[in-house]
A and B are shown apart, each in its own frame.
Chain A
Amino acid sequence: MKYVPLVLSNLFRKKTRTALTSGSFAVALFLFGILAVVDGAFQQGVDVAGVDRLVVLNRVSIIQPLPLAYRDRLLRIPGVTHVTFANWFGGVYQDERNFFPQFAVDRETYRQMFTEFIVPDDQWQGFQTDKEGAIVGEALAERFKWKIGDRIPIKGTIFAGTWEFNIRGIYRGRRVQDDTTQLWFRWDYLDERKAFGKGWVGWYTARIANPDDAVRLVKVIDEQFANSPAETKTDTEKAFAASFVKQMGNIQLLIMSVGSVVFFTLLLVTGNTMAIAVRERTRELAVLKAVGFSDRFVLMLVIAETMVVAVVGGGVGLGLAKLFTLRGDPTGGLLPFFYLASDDIALGLGLALAVGLAAGVLPALSASRLRVVDALRRV
Chain B
Amino acid sequence: MVKVDGRGDESALIRARGLGKTYRRGGEEIHVLQGLNLDVDAGEFIAFMGPSGSGKTTLLNLLGGLDVPSAGSVTVAGDEITRMSARKLTSWRSRHVGFVFQMYNLIPVLTAFQNVELPLLLTSLSKAQRRQHVETALDVVGLSDRMHHYPRQLSGGQEQRVGIARAIVADPTFLLCDEPTGDLDRKSADEALDLIDRLVREFGKTALMVTHDPLAAERAHVVLHLQKGVLVDTVTMGRAR
Contact = CB atoms under 8 A, between A and B. Distances in A.
Nearest to B96: A292
Contacts of A295: 86-87, 90
A325 to B, nearest CB: 38
Interface stretch (A6-14, A25-33, A62-70, A337-345): A6-14
A119 interface: no
A292 B90 contact: yes
B114 interface: yes
B121 A376 contact: no
A291 B86 contact: no
B235 interface: no
A101 to B, nearest CB: 58
Nearest to B121: A2
A373 B94 contact: no
Given A287-B101, A373-B61, A373-B66, A292 B93 contact: yes
- Give chain B's interface residue range (CB within 8 Å of chain A): 20 to 34
B86 A10 contact: no
B91 A291 contact: no
A5 interface: yes
Interface in A270-309: 283-284, 287-295
Given A290-B66, A290-B99, A9 B86 contact: no
Interface in B47-100: 61, 64, 66-67, 86-87, 90-91, 93-95, 99
A292 B119 contact: yes
B11 interface: no
24 contacts: A2-B121, A2-B127, A5-B114, A6-B114, A9-B114, A10-B109, A12-B109, A13-B108, A284-B105, A284-B108, A287-B99, A289-B90, A290-B66, A290-B93, A291-B119, A293-B94, A294-B87, A294-B90, A294-B91, A295-B86, A295-B87, A372-B61, A372-B66, A376-B101
Interface of A: 2-3, 5-6, 9-10, 12-13, 283-284, 287-295, 372-373, 376
Interface of B: 61, 64, 66-67, 86-87, 90-91, 93-95, 99, 101, 103, 105, 107-110, 114, 118-119, 121-122, 127, 166
